[in-house]
Amino acid sequence: MSGLPAPAAERLLRLWDAQQSAYVAHRENRFTVMLDVLRLGPADPRVLDLGCGPGALTRRVLDALPHAEVTAVDYDPVLLHIARGALAAYGDRVRVLDADLESPGWTALVGDRVDAVVSSTALHWLSPAHLLAVYQDAAALLRPGGVLLNADHLRFDDRSPALRELSERHDEVTRRDGFAAGALDYDAWYAEAYRETSLADRRAERDRRFADRPPQPLAPLDLHLAALRTAGFAEAGPVWQYLDDFVVLARR
């Protein structure tokens, strides 16, 4: 599994963690909950990480569950190159795959069924129709009794104006404090990544892939729960919440 040389990849992953923590308050708490749930399952789970980015969640799963194997998928060629370098030390316990979740048939790359599907701060890029399709794909990949864990901001809408305002104000404070402490913002992180020649070479491909995929409006919790049930999950609900940041669990 070739990728960015490990020292450079690990540096960018550390900067990514700091950057993401400036946007997500108490980010490690969501990971703690996800790992706690995974530990209650098989000792040697096969895990699928959707929208793995540079490998932040995949690495935590591999470290926390020493007998786990993870298939990590993303569509961003820059992040994939970093992930391959940052995760290379785990050997055949991890596969990093270039997969477009919006493209029918991406699940064929995964192969065998899995015990758990996880995702963190990724599925909000999908439109409601594509989100439902991905949840259906995940349900088809999961073994009976398997779980899906999605950690993301699930925004309050007009039905909860006070909660929405409180969450937005808290996000502003989190960003202000994070950036004041030295974290890069999203665009500055990519600018730093492009200082690596092999990543700069992937910039045009990244721009091409996402040129017609603008950010989507962030969906509320109940849309995700309805989509999960429609996709065939037996039950779904939040297992952790901090204001508008949730970890949602769905059981196959």
User: Does 1 map to a domain?
Assistant: no
In a domain, residue 189? The reply is yes
Task: Measure Cα distances from 37 to 63, 101, 118, 223, 232 in Å.
Answer: 15, 24, 11, 23, 20
Looking up tokens 């939040």 gives 238
Cross-strand partners of 73: 50, 97
CA–CA distance, 83 with 175 (Å, rounded to integer): 25
Q: How far apart are CA 178 and CA 181, in angstroms?
A: 5
Domain membership of residue 185 (yes or no) is: yes
Return averaged pLDDT per consecutive 10 residues of the chain, 252 residues in all.
91 98 98 98 97 98 98 98 98 98 94 96 94 97 98 95 97 98 98 97 96 86 97 98 98 97
User: Residue 1: what pLDDT?
Assistant: 56
- For residue 20, give the nearest of 128, 179, 232, 158 by alpha carbon: 179
Cα–Cα distance between 211 and 251 in angstroms, integer? Answer: 35
Residue-level pLDDT at 213: 87
Residue 147 structural domain: 6-251
Task: Give this prediction's pTM.
Answer: 0.96
CATH at residue 67: 3.40.50.150
* 200 in any annotated domain: yes
CA distance 222 to 49: 23
The answer to whether the CB of 48 falls within 8 A of the CB of 74 is: no
What total number of domains does the chain contain? 1
Q: For residue 133, tell me if it sits in a domain.
A: yes
Residue 223 lies in a domain: yes
Q: Is 110:48 a contact under the CB 8 Å cutoff?
A: yes
